[in-house]
Amino acid sequence: MTIGPVVGAGFGRVTVVRVAIILVLLAAWEALARSGLLFRDVVPTLSAIARAFVTLLLQPDFYTNLGWTVGEIALALLVGGVSGLLVGLLLGGSRLLGRAFEPYLYYLGPTPKIIFFPVMIMWFGVGPTSKVALGALSCFFPIALSTAAGMRQIDAVLIRVGRSFRATTSEMVTKIYLPAMREPIVNGVRLGLGVAMIATLLAETKLSNRGFGYLIIQAYSTFDMPRMYAVLIALFALAIAANALIGRFSAYRASRFR
Amino acid sequence: MSVATRMAPATLGLGTLVVVGAALEALIRGGAINRYIVPLPSQVLLAFERIVVEENVVHRFLLTTAETLVAGALITIVGVALGLLLNRVHLLRAACETWVAAFASAPIVLMYPLFLVIFGRSAVTIVMMGFVAALPPVILKTLEGLAATRSVLVNVGRSFNLTPAQMFWKIMLPAALPTMFVGLRLGLIFAMINIVGVEFLINFGGLGQLINELAERYDLPGTYAAIGFVVLVSVLFFYVTERIERWLRPA
């Protein structure tokens, strides 16, 4: 049972259903907002959210905070990604090391990372560095684990070819291992980006004076609900766009090299 | 393989932990690392007993577990029902599946201030946050399991002239169960992570709040011990659900 034929036969119908769902949801929202069933402003009217969204986009402050958050996430991904990659190569390349340390990574991976935030504050202070550190810690695990798994599934023929050409270790890494592991690494980076984003933003909501997380918590503490919805919409749009971008990148690379 | 060869990786792993712990202890005692930033590992070990006795850890553990289980029950009921609905109505599935997938990768937990406004600073906020964040994998895996039922099984059902209800209970559901359990386990883990995280962030409830409280008191060994405790609990939780999943799907 696949959705292929349905999509193929009725692309128009799918679009109609999508538009209908969105319209029903928006109408239900507006009805709820005007009904007075909930406390005032908990569910603001659509026009109030739209106004808040436009105001948000027009404020230079928004872009400064966006810059901080994007910078923190990028740095977290760089630090956590490079260390994850190195550890993954090490663990994937040695049976003994893999068996000794991978279970720890495997079981520590899904623990809630935000609880390490107090430690990160003690180590790196209350500024952006502690958010970067928490983001890096979060994305280290998925990237290390998928690199190690990817390394083990490399075709043995490729490795023998490299050896028979007497490739040095660095040549083996750059010419054989990394190109052969493109897919698992991109997958790891994708997972890593998601968790780094969550960790960084959550840390910003807990303790900071800039960034997207700060904007959310600031809207909460001033009870500016339309603004909070506006920031959340902007954040979700960015998160989905970033994810789609990496997905597109991996698909493009895979088709180019196949 | 001899016992020594089999034990070597585990010994190396544990040994490294012990050596790193001992080295830290020495470096902190020697003054190379500030003990007001990193407490002595021996103090952290001693603090375990203190947080268990003085900080009501058992009660907090049960509270967090109960919240996770309630969220787990909710994702099972709602997630499986939505998965079944999407599997039934093809048009709805074609329209919504990508949305659910996008929802799964969105940072849903960032909506916790919104939930705070709607549900107040209470266990309901925590459970609802866990529920919403953990819902997408259950829906997606239910769909995947139902869609991947081998056509030979479906054909056997058809040749026996099964009614749609019989077809579902006798063929589709048993075939989809293993994949559905993967989704439920993922959902439970997501719920647990989000619940502990939100407890920490809003300073309310079980284990997450304990870490926040100890950190605010600047009780360093206590904070480290509490973090260690939560890590142990989540590892245990992860391990137990993994065992249950393996037991349920003897491949």
The ipTM estimated for the assembled molecules is 0.88
Q: Is the per-residue pLDDT at A69 higher than 90?
A: yes
Q: What is the 3-state secondary structure (H, E, C) of A180-241?
A: HCHHHHHHHHHHHHHHHHHHHHHHHHHCCCCCHHHHHHHHHHCCCHHHHHHHHHHHHHHHHH
- What percent of chain A clears pLDDT 90, i.e. is strictly above it? 57
What are the pLDDT digits (tens) for A26-46? Answer: 999 999 888 877 777 788 999
Strand boundaries in chain A, DSSP class E: none
> Based on the domain organization, do A161 and A225 belong to the same domain?
yes
> Based on the domain organization, do A106 and A29 belong to the same domain?
no
> Based on the domain organization, do A25 and A65 belong to the same domain?
no
Contact state of B147 with A2 under an 8 Å Cβ cutoff: yes
Identify whether A40 is part of a domain.
no
> Based on the domain organization, do A107 and A186 belong to the same domain?
yes
| pLDDT number for residue A255 | 57
Range of the domain at A16: 4-35
> Based on the domain organization, do A121 and A71 belong to the same domain?
yes
> Based on the domain organization, do A26 and A152 belong to the same domain?
no
Q: Is the per-residue pLDDT at A122 higher than 80?
A: yes
Contact state of B235 with A96 under an 8 Å Cβ cutoff: no
Structure tokens at A31: 């009805």
Q: CATH number, domain at A57?
A: 1.10.3720.10
Identify whether A41 is part of a domain.
no
Distance of alpha carbon A33 from the chain centroid: 32
- Pairwise CA distance, residues A42 & A36, whole Å: 10
**CB nearest to A236's CB, from B106, B211, B227:** B106
- Pairwise CA distance, residues A181 & A146, whole Å: 9
What are the pLDDT digits (tens) for B64-90? Answer: 999 999 999 999 999 999 999 999 898
Q: Is the per-residue pLDDT at B42 higher than 80?
A: yes
CA distances in angstroms from B207 to A82, A226, B212, B226, listed in the order given: 32, 32, 9, 8
> Based on the domain organization, do A25 and A50 belong to the same domain?
no
Going by C-alpha positions, the residue among A109, A74, A57 that lies closest to residue A197 is A74
> Based on the domain organization, do A218 and A125 belong to the same domain?
yes
Q: Write down the pTM of the prediction.
A: 0.88
> Based on the domain organization, do A105 and A50 belong to the same domain?
yes
Domain ranges of chain B: 1-38, 40-248
Please give the mean pLDDT across all residues of chain B.
90
Chains A and B: how many Cβ contacts under 8 Å? 147
* Residue in chain B nearest A201 by alpha carbon: B110
> Based on the domain organization, do A18 and A82 belong to the same domain?
no
DSSP class of A116: G
**CB nearest to B90's CB, from A6, A117, A121:** A6
Contact predicate B171/B148, CB 8 Å: no
Number of domains making up chain A: 2
CATH class for the domain made up of B40-248: mainly alpha
Q: Is the per-residue pLDDT at A203 higher than 90?
A: yes
> Based on the domain organization, do A20 and A71 belong to the same domain?
no
What are the pLDDT digits (tens) for B140-166? Answer: 999 999 988 888 888 898 899 888 888
